[in-house]
């Protein structure tokens, strides 16, 4: 089986995928929103992945407790569905994310990655189906106008549908209906799920008989996730309330009727995220502190490659086929 | 699932690998194992055992025969099996020489209702499957040249191995191992029109077969390939570069049961004449690594589907075998008339 897929080796420790001011603004609005809608009466609940109740507190952010499941290793926030819904409907947050500044910044910083991704997508679709064109694709939750434009105009797709996105376009659909698609892009959505198995079953129903699911998410075994805990700027309520482990993802996909074709962790930013917060690492985290205080940028890039190659980055990419 | 009644002739390393693949697949019923050396059969008492291959075919009456025997027996066993209306899978090489292969082709054409497949197993390795998908998808444009190195380390008993006795083997390192890379060159570029080569004993002076073949191939379309097939690499090595009009593919290492050819991976990149990567002369590379060799299972599944479901063979046909043996024949005939 494919052990690793390094999407590319063009890693730089100083890279960022978002403007600092925008990032802080998104963070500020999210915190304000979470504190406003937070239901303090919520009680601990089992892991959304494996339903185990054996867990330890991993960190707490903005009054929301994150637990790490002792059975499957997933990380999850104690919250309710209506809190996630209210968070997603926050007009201030929506307004920022729809703004031209936000979209322009994402476009400028991510355009090369998006183009690389589409070439890779075309290659993988051909690899597993032998098809190069005329495909239908359902895109879940994509919130970047530039990325939507690139996918919707790509030669390989005869039809493109956008579902559950904050962006309203001519491709938007309000319901997935009964139509079946050759490919589904399901990026990061699982991170807001309290019932991932249900979501995977729904995805399977929307695929053609040999349709492919392209899945991306953060995973709980990733280097920055486990090292930074609550210091991680990229994990916050209710944007991420479920960070599954690689193992539970495999198990849930199989249970939902998917054949996993490949699993890789081509993430490029674990080391970057830890590097940014290196001075705040726990004082007993001796090796990590030593490495980040003394290693050259080249060594840190090499370390990121090691994480990618050995499935230890926190960004996971899965291709699965409907069985 | 329909069961194919199968026998294996030759229970050395390859016979054992095939037996495991049958068990893994589940669509085969083993009705006989055969080896002239009883020690090779000592762990298989739960199967009907034979020491003589003809007797095994005649008595076991299989649907399919797997030929994992020494090279000089291959053509005889394959032809006899086809005449007995059995499907046949034979390990490479397809005989000792082109004459053997053509004899099998004749026999197949007289019994063309039966499947005949040869074990050009490298086509089923993950890195090769990915490379073929890259080429077929035209992601990097048309392949224009290939450089291949396939080398062995050798060992203390190397000079005395049956593989280096032309009466048994028919040839040296090229026929034993280089044949896989020749098959891959054909697989990626198509049929070869011209061959230039040097066949030598550069170090192992006292063995009757070659220890090194350098060969250059040209297709009718002008694509070029080079191959160094060597048993004087002094370590196990598998490397292939494929240069395309718009990019490059590197295949390094190949997973084997001993893991001695290193980690199997494929790296590819697109040409980047404007240095958009930000690094002059270093395009952004993509690398894929593999940790499991599924080649035996995929190969067996293709044979099963051909026999049980009538699906046409994609790889390892008698025509692949003839074309690759024609190249080997040309190379060996040029020995002494080197580059």
CB crowding B43-61: b at 16 or more within 10 Å, else e: ebeebebbeebeebbeebe
User: H helices within chain B, ranges in order?
Assistant: 13-25, 53-60, 71-83, 98-110, 126-136, 166-169, 173, 179-189, 295-309, 318-333
Pairwise CB contact (< 8 Å): A8 & B285: yes
Residue A15: the pLDDT is 63
Gap from A134 CA to chain B (nearest CA, Å): 14
Residue A309: the pLDDT is 87
Nearest CA in chain B to A3: B290
pLDDT digits (tens, 9 = 90+) for B266-295: 999 999 998 887 778 888 888 899 988 999
Q: How far apart are the C-alpha atoms of B6 and A231, rounded to whole Å?
A: 62
Gap from B263 CA to chain A (nearest CA, Å): 10
> Which residues, in sequence order, are CB contacts of B34 under 8 Å at separation 6+?
B7, B8, B9, B10, B11, B49, B50, B51, B52, B53, B56
Q: Please name every residue paired with B215 in a beta bridge, in sequence order, or none if there are none.
A: B197, B227
Q: How far apart are the C-alpha atoms of B31 and B44, rounded to whole Å?
A: 12
Q: How far apart are the C-alpha atoms of B230 and B237, rounded to whole Å?
A: 9
Tally C-beta pairs within 8 A across A and B. 55
- Residue B96 predicted with pLDDT over 90: yes
Q: How far apart are the C-alpha atoms of A237 and A230, rounded to whole Å?
A: 11
Among B133, B277, B288, select the one facing A126 at the smallest CB separation: B133
Mean pLDDT of B161-188: 96
Residue A77: the pLDDT is 97
Instruction: Residue B168: name the closest of B69, B44, B288, B291 by CA.
Output: B69
Q: Does A127 touch chain B (CB under 8 A)?
A: yes
Tell me if B190 sits within 8 A of B221, measured CB to CB: yes
A303: Cα within 13 Å, side-chain hemisphere: 19
Residue A41: the pLDDT is 84
Banded model confidence at residue B336, pLDDT cuts 50, 70, 90: low
Q: How far apart are the C-alpha atoms of B59 and B80, rounded to whole Å?
A: 14
Among A5, A9, A128, A312, pick the best mutation site for testing chain B contact (most B Cβ within 10 A): A9
Tell me if A313 sits within 8 A of A307, measured CB to CB: yes
Question: Which chain B residues touch A if contact means CB-CB below 8 Å?
Answer: 126, 129-130, 133-134, 136-137, 139, 276-279, 284-292, 294
Cβ contacts of B137 on chain A, cutoff 8 Å: 122-123, 126-127, 132
Pairwise CB contact (< 8 Å): B278 & A126: no
> Which residues, in sequence order, are CB contacts of A188 under 8 Å at separation 6+?
A141, A216, A217, A218
Q: Phi/psi zone of residue B85: left (φ > 0), alpha (ψ -120 to 50 degrees), beta?
A: left
> Which is it for the CA torsion B269, B272, B277, B278, positive or negative?
positive
* Strand order across the beta sheet in which A2-6 lies: A2-6, B286-290, B264-270, B247-252, B237-244, B143-151, B224-230, B212-219, B192-200
Gap from B288 CA to chain A (nearest CA, Å): 5
Q: Does A3 touch chain B (CB under 8 A)?
A: yes
Cβ contacts of A120 on chain B, cutoff 8 Å: 286
Pairwise CB contact (< 8 Å): A132 & B137: yes
Q: How far apart are the C-alpha atoms of A174 and A162, rounded to whole Å?
A: 9
Question: Which secondary structure element, helix H or strand E, spans residue B148, and what is its range?
Answer: strand B143-151
Express as a percent the part of chain B with pLDDT over 90.
Answer: 91
Residue B278: the pLDDT is 77
Among B131, B133, B255, pick the best mutation site for testing chain A contact (most A Cβ within 10 A): B133
Flag residues of chain A having pLDDT under 50.
none
The ipTM assigned to this model is 0.86
Mean pLDDT of chain B: 95
pLDDT digits (tens, 9 = 90+) for B1-21: 899 999 999 999 999 999 999
- Output the six-digit token pair for B291: 């940790």
Tell me if B32 sits within 8 A of B41, measured CB to CB: no
Residue B279: the pLDDT is 78
Residues across chain B: 339
Number of H helices, E strands in chain B: 10, 14
Q: How far apart are the C-alpha atoms of B280 and B274, rounded to whole Å?
A: 8
Residue B339: the pLDDT is 53
Written as one string, the DSSP assignment of A256-308 is TTEEEEEEE-----HHHHHHHTGGGS-TT-HHHHHHHHH--HHHHHHHHHHHH
Cβ contacts of A5 on chain B, cutoff 8 Å: 286-288
> Which residues, in sequence order, are CB contacts of A299 under 8 Å at separation 6+?
A291
Residue A116: the pLDDT is 87
B90: Cα within 13 Å, side-chain hemisphere: 32
Q: What is the DSSP letter of A230?
A: G
Cα-based angle B20, B23, B29 (whole degrees, multiple of 5) = 120
Pairwise CB contact (< 8 Å): B291 & A1: yes
Helix axes A100-129 and B126-136, enclosed angle (nearest 10): 110
Residue B259: the pLDDT is 86
Tell me if A252 sits within 8 A of A49, measured CB to CB: yes
Tell me if B33 sits within 8 A of B8, measured CB to CB: yes
Cα-based angle B256, B260, B263 (whole degrees, multiple of 5) = 75
* Strand order across the beta sheet in which A181-187 lies: A172-173, A157-163, A135-140, A181-187, A207-218, A315-322, A258-264
Instruction: Residue B29: name the closest of B60, B67, B74, B69 by CA.
Output: B60
């Amino acid at each position: 089986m494919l052990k690793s897929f390094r999407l590319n080796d063009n890693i730089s420790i100083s890279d960022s995928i978002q403007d600092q001011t925008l990032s802080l603004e998104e963070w500020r609005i999210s915190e304000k929103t979470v504190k406003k809608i937070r239901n303090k009466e919520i009680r601990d609940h089992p892991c959304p992945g494996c339903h185990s109740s054996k867990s330890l507190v991993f960190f707490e952010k903005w009054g929301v407790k994150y637990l790490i499941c002792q059975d499957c290793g997933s990380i999850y926030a104690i919250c309710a569905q209506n809190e996630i819904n209210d968070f997603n409907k926050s007009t201030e947050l929506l307004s920022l994310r729809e703004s031209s500044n936000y979209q322009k910044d994402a476009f400028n910083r991510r355009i090369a990655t998006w183009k690389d991704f589409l070439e890779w997508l075309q290659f993988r679709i051909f690899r597993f189906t032998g098809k190069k064109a005329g495909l239908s694709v359902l895109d879940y939750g994509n919130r970047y106008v530039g990325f939507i434009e690139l996918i919707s105009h790509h030669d390989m797709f005869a039809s493109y549908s956008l579902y559950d996105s904050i962006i309203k376009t001519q491709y938007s659909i309000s319901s997935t209906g009964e139509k079946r698609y050759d490919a589904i892009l399901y990026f990061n959505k699982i991170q807001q799920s309290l019932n991932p198995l249900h979501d995977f079953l729904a995805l399977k129903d929307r695929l053609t008989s040999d349709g492919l699911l392209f899945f991306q998410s953060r995973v709980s075994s990733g280097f920055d996730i486990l090292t930074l805990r609550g210091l991680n700027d990229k994990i916050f309520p209710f944007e991420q309330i479920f960070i599954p482990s690689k193992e539970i993802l495999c198990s849930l996909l199989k249970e939902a009727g998917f054949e996993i074709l490949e699993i890789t962790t081509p993430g490029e930013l674990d080391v970057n995220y830890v590097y940014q917060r290196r001075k705040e690492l726990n004082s007993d985290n001796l090796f990590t502190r030593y490495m980040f205080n003394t290693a050259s940028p080249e060594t840190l890039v090499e370390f990121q490659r090691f994480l990618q190659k050995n499935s230890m980055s926190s960004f996971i990419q899965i291709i699965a086929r409907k069985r | 699932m329909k069961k194919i009644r199968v026998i294996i002739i030759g229970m050395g390393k390859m016979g054992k690998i095939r037996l495991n693949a049958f068990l893994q697949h589940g669509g085969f019923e083993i009705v006989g194992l055969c080896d002239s050396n009883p020690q090779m059969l000592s762990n298989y008492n739960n199967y009907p055992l034979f020491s003589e291959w003809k007797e095994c075919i005649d008595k076991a009456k299989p649907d399919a025969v797997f030929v994992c025997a020494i090279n000089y027996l291959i053509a005889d066993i394959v032809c006899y099996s086809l005449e007995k209306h059995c499907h046949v899978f034979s390990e490479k090489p397809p005989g000792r020489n082109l004459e053997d292969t053509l004899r099998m082709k004749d026999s197949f054409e007289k019994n063309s209702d039966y499947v005949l497949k040869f074990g050009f197993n490298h086509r089923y390795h993950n890195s090769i499957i990915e490379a073929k998908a890259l080429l077929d998808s035209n992601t990097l444009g048309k392949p224009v040249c290939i450089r291949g190195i396939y080398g062995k380390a050798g060992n203390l008993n190397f000079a005395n191995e049956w593989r280096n006795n032309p009466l048994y083997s028919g040839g040296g390192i090229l026929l034993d191992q280089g044949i896989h890379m020749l098959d891959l060159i054909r697989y990626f570029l198509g049929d070869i029109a011209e061959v230039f080569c040097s066949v030598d004993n550069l170090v192992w002076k006292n063995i009757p077969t070659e220890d090194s073949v350098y060969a250059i191939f040209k297709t009718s379309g002008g694509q070029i390939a080079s191959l160094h097939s060597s048993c004087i690499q002094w370590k196990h090595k598998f490397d292939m570069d494929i240069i395309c009009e718009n990019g490059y593919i590197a295949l390094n290492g190949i997973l084997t049961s001993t893991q001695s050819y290193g980690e199997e991976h494929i790296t590819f990149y697109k040409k980047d004449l404007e240095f958009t990567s930000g690094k002059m002369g270093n395009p952004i590379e993509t690398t894929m690594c593999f940790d499991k060799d599924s080649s035996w299972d995929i190969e067996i599944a293709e044979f099963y589907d051909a026999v049980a479901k009538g699906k046409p063979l994609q790889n390892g046909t008698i025509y692949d075998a003839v074309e690759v043996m024609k190249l080997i024949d040309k190379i060996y005939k040029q020995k002494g008339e080197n580059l």
